[in-house]
């Protein structure tokens, strides 16, 4: 497993040189919050090197107990008004230090979140949750490798313009389904090309981009990496894509479903295990499974992933709107089945030999990648440890199948599945599960409290 360090990555010596000669003036020092957003501070290069590098950065702990509007939410055990909303420490992970080429003279580093007074990771921080599952895999001799296919829609409206229209009657940049269309892709290249190029220059290597199954919908695929690095790349790409779109005077959305008329946007997760010592892939083997030959590790990983997917589905679809993506015939899964190279199945097996991997098509583009990868790895490892067998391979159209389990239809249903999961509590701990149950319930409560434009159109005159 010899993956080269991508260009744009920095070490401290390189950063010192670039700060000294003025090529870097600012270091964005950030961590992913519960929504997967980058939160933190912009630090002058010299202060980062002299102080933040060694002492970390302090931030208010309400950042892991607030909603998307930055409202402190009552009911979290982690922190509250009663506890005074103190600080935690952001400790830079120097393996993530890179140029942020889309910004002027700026570098970026992703941080782990530590307790303020103790040298201990904060349990409920998304990067902590994933890191601990990766460390668990490493203790078992595995390196989890993965990729995420992230889709989005581009609009002619700027972010300010979209807000001014109250996000109604937005104009996608394309007029027709542009799946694999090169011509329509050319029209969008001023944005998508800029994202590709800046990611490649910023330590987030890109494989390709392509038109997707909606007007103005695109997908950019990143080079695979170990799970923690992949989640970092995904988060940086998602953040940078929004900033680049803003710079170009357009907007993009990663909503899993922005309009009932069009296909949703996914975050297909690809996963495989590699030997932590030899660097060899562990999924290929001699056992026939459908049209491929696999190892027992592959079979059990798939079995565990499928067995636990309903319990952890809220980590794949975290908002009430997320569930509007799961529509038959839309390329989003509705049935929990596996098949080889079959896009109607929630689990699509792809590749042969060293490239053999499992693709889960359930996560939406709105998922927090750290939580999605952590749930994926935890389920797969449980499958290996308990030798959970997958069901037989499904052949045909899963959308029409009558005898396969279904994905949750609503966030409420997913919350119930997580709430009653003894496996989830044993795996992640009560503090983590209770924290995120409160997070998901808050999202549902906030949604339930709002009167939507659809309701006004339907009931204003005729009810």
The DSSP line for 64-107 is GSB-TT-PBPTT-SS--TTTT--EEEEEE-GGG-EE-TTSTTEE
The helix-helix angle for 227-247 and 189-201 (nearest 10°) equals: 140
Same domain as 160, residue 18:
no
The residue behind tokens 């078992």 is 140
**Average pLDDT of every residue of the chain:** 95
Same domain as 418, residue 309:
yes
> For 329-345, what is the mean pLDDT?
94
| Residue where one domain finishes, among candidates 87, 122, 157 | 122
Same domain as 453, residue 418:
yes
What is d(CA 15, CA 31) in angstroms, rounded to the nearest whole number?
A: 20
In a domain, 322, yes or no: yes
Which structural domain, as residue segments, surrounds residue 55? 12-122
Statement: the pTM of the whole predicted model exceeds 0.85 = yes
> Per-residue pLDDT for 4 more than 60?
no
What is d(CA 360, CA 336) in angstroms, rounded to the nearest whole number?
A: 10
Same domain as 269, residue 397:
yes
> For 418-445, what is the mean pLDDT?
98
| Residue where one domain finishes, among candidates 90, 122, 154 | 122
| Residue where one domain finishes, among candidates 122, 142, 169 | 122
Q: Which two tokens stand for residue 82?
A: 């009663």
In a domain, 2, yes or no: no
User: 415 phi and psi, to 5 degrees?
Assistant: -65, -45
- Among residues 14, 32, 25, 29, which one has the least CA distance to residue 233? 32
Q: Give the pLDDT confidence score for residue 324 in this predicted structure.
A: 96
In a domain, 307, yes or no: yes
Same domain as 142, residue 68:
no
Q: At 191, which CATH number?
A: 3.30.590.10
Same domain as 331, residue 447:
yes
Structural domains of the chain, count? 2
Query: What is the three-state SS of 164-186?
Result: HCCCCCCCECCCCCCCCCHHHHH
> Per-residue pLDDT for 6 more than 90?
no
Give the model confidence (pLDDT) of 106-132 as tens digits.
Answer: 999 999 999 998 899 999 999 999 999
Q: At 25, which CATH number?
A: 3.10.20.70
> For 243-248, what is the mean pLDDT?
98
Same domain as 362, residue 219:
yes
Same domain as 168, residue 62:
no
> For 231-239, what is the mean pLDDT?
98
> Per-residue pLDDT for 18 more than 80?
yes
Same domain as 177, residue 112:
no
In a domain, 3, yes or no: no
In a domain, 181, yes or no: yes
CB atoms within 10 A of CB 189: 13
Same domain as 449, residue 349:
yes
In a domain, 1, yes or no: no
Q: Give the pLDDT confidence score for residue 2 in this predicted structure.
A: 45
What is d(CA 446, CA 66) in angstroms, rounded to the nearest whole number?
A: 12
By mean pLDDT, which of 152-166, 175-189, 309-323 is the weakest? 175-189
pLDDT tier at 290, thresholds 50, 70, 90 = confident
pLDDT tier at 1, thresholds 50, 70, 90 = very low
User: 269 phi and psi, to 5 degrees?
Assistant: -100, 125
In a domain, 425, yes or no: yes
Same domain as 107, residue 159:
no
Same domain as 323, residue 382:
yes
Give the model confidence (pLDDT) of 120-178 as tens digits.
Answer: 999 999 999 999 999 999 999 999 999 999 999 999 999 999 999 999 999 999 989 98
The residue behind tokens 């952890």 is 312
Q: Please provide the distance, in angstroms rounded to a whole number, between the alpha carbons at the two ends of the chain.
A: 63
CB atoms within 10 A of CB 176: 12
In a domain, 463, yes or no: no
């Amino acid at each position: 497993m010899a993956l080269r360090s991508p260009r744009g990555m920095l070490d401290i010596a390189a950063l010192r040189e670039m700060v000294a000669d003025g090529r870097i003036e600012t270091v964005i020092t950030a961590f992913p919050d519960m929504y997967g957003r980058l939160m933190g501070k912009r630090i002058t290069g010299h202060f980062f090197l002299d102080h933040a590098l060694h002492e970390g950065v302090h931030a208010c702990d309400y950042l892991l107990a607030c909603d998307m509007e930055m409202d402190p939410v009552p009911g979290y055990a982690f922190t509250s008004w009663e506890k005074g909303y103190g600080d935690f420490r952001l400790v830079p992970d120097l393996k993530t230090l890179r140029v942020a080429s889309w910004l002027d003279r700026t570098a970026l580093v992703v941080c782990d979140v530590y307790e303020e007074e103790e040298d201990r990771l904060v349990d409920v921080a998304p990067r902590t949750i994933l890191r601990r599952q990766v460390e668990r895999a490493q203790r078992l001799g595995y390196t989890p490798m993965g990729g995420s296919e992230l889709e989005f829609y581009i609009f002619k409206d700027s972010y300010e313009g979209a807000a001014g229209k109250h996000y109604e009657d937005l104009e996608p940049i394309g007029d027709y389904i542009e799946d694999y269309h090169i011509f329509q892709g050319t029209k969008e290249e001023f944005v998508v090309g800029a994202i590709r190029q800046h990611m490649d220059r910023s330590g987030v290597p890109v494989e390709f981009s392509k038109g997707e199954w909606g007007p103005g919908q695109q997908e950019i695929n990143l080079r695979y990496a170990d799970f923690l690095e992949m989640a970092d790349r995904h988060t940086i790409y998602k953040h940078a894509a929004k900033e680049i779109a803003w710079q170009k005077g357009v907007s993009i959305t990663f909503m899993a479903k922005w309009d009932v008329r069009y296909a949703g946007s996914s975050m297909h997760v690809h996963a495989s295990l590699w030997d932590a010592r030899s660097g060899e892939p562990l999924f290929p083997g001699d056992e026939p499974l459908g049209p491929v030959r696999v190892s027992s590790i592959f079979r059990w990983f798939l079995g565990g992933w499928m067995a636990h997917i309903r319990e952890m589905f809220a980590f794949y679809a975290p908002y009430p709107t997320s569930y509007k993506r799961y529509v038959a015939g839309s390329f989003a899964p509705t049935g929990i089945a596996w098949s080889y190279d079959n896009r109607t199945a929630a689990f699509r097996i792809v590749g042969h030999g060293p490239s053999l991997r499992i693709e889960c098509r359930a996560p939406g583009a709105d998922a927090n990648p750290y939580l999605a990868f952590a749930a994926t790895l935890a389920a797969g490892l449980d499958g290996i440890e308990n030798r959970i067998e997958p069901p037989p391979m499904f052949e045909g159209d899963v959308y029409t199948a009558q005898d396969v389990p279904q994905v949750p239809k609503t966030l409420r249903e997913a919350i119930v599945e997580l709430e009653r999961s003894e496996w989830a509590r044993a795996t992640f701990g009560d503090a983590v599960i209770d924290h995120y149950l409160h997070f998901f319930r808050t999202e549902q409560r906030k949604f339930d409290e709002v009167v939507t434009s659809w309701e006004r159109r339907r009931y204003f005159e005729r009810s």
